[in-house]
Amino acid sequence: MGLSMAAAYDRAITIFSPDGRIYQVEYAFEAVRRGWTTLGLKTKTAIVIAAEKRKISPLQDEKSVQKVFKIDDHIGASYAGMAGDGRILLDYAIQKALIHRFYYDEPIPVEYLAKLVCDVKQLYTQHAGVRPFGVSIIFAGIDDRGPQVYMTEPSGRYVGYYVAAIGEKSNTILEYLEKNYKHDVDPKESIKLAIEAVVNIVESKPYENFIELGYADIYTRKFKILTPEEIKVYIDELVKEGKIKA
């Protein structure tokens, strides 16, 4: 009887277990924990999103894999977890950002965009016949409140961060940045700080082919995704400074 009851709580999304848990939502968090690691950080002058890429197969073209996305001129995003779920929600975010610009003739606030996406995520935690989205998304951008970073969870919760990391090796990145994070730095140093953190978890070289990075600063408020060649310039500087190994 006990086993069958446990199985019922395990399979149903509309039923709380006796200890107040919804197991399917917790399993969605596990999908995020197994994803490729992604970092979002904000400093006084910039926001940066950086993500690792892996070569799953010797025949795979790693350049075809995208992890950092431009949502609007001033906002970028990346995800960890189920790629299909991430793609659908990022398309939804792009659509909402465009609609907001059309209706109000102004860029959408970063927090409001995170809320709209989390409204959809939360809806999928309370209806029978659906499953939660197995993905967390980091939104980062510059709006009237300055640099903003928000991380959305499969449960529909979102929280603002100075540094947010999701995915398989997020703890390694967070441990590094807890010791080395600086808020009062310029955009260039913000980018280098993100690269320093992500290099610690990248499994293949050259690093620039397996790191994807985008940033925006308070001066232009334009989100830009860097090319591997541009990332290599920062990596070479970090090597010269002795902060990472070649």
The verdict on residue 8 lying in a domain is no
Q: What is the DSSP letter of 125?
A: T
Q: What is the pLDDT of residues 140-197, one digit of tens each?
A: 999 999 999 999 999 999 999 999 999 999 999 999 999 999 999 999 999 999 999 9
Phi, psi (deg, nearest 5) at residue 77: -155, 160
The verdict on residue 2 lying in a domain is no
Can you give the pLDDT at residue 1?
40
Q: Which two tokens stand for residue 206?
A: 């050259």
CATH of the domain at 74: 3.60.20.10
The verdict on residue 1 lying in a domain is no
What is the number of structural domains in the chain?
A: 1
The verdict on residue 246 lying in a domain is no
pLDDT exceeds 80 at position 246: no
Range of the domain at 164: 35-240
Can you give the pLDDT at residue 15?
86
Question: What predicted TM-score, i.e. pTM, was given to this entire model?
Answer: 0.94
Q: What residue has token string 């917790």?
A: 26
Q: What is the pLDDT of residues 87-139, one digit of tens each?
A: 999 999 999 999 999 999 999 999 999 999 999 999 999 998 899 999 999 99
The verdict on residue 12 lying in a domain is no
Q: What residue has token string 């189920």?
A: 82
The verdict on residue 29 lying in a domain is no
The angle formed by the CA atoms of residues 29, 35 and 39, to the nearest 5 degrees, is 95
The verdict on residue 125 lying in a domain is yes
For the chain, the helix, strand and coil percentages under 3-state DSSP, each to the nearest 5 = 40, 25, 35
Residue 104 burial (CB count, 10 A): 9
The verdict on residue 5 lying in a domain is no
Can you give the pLDDT at residue 245?
86
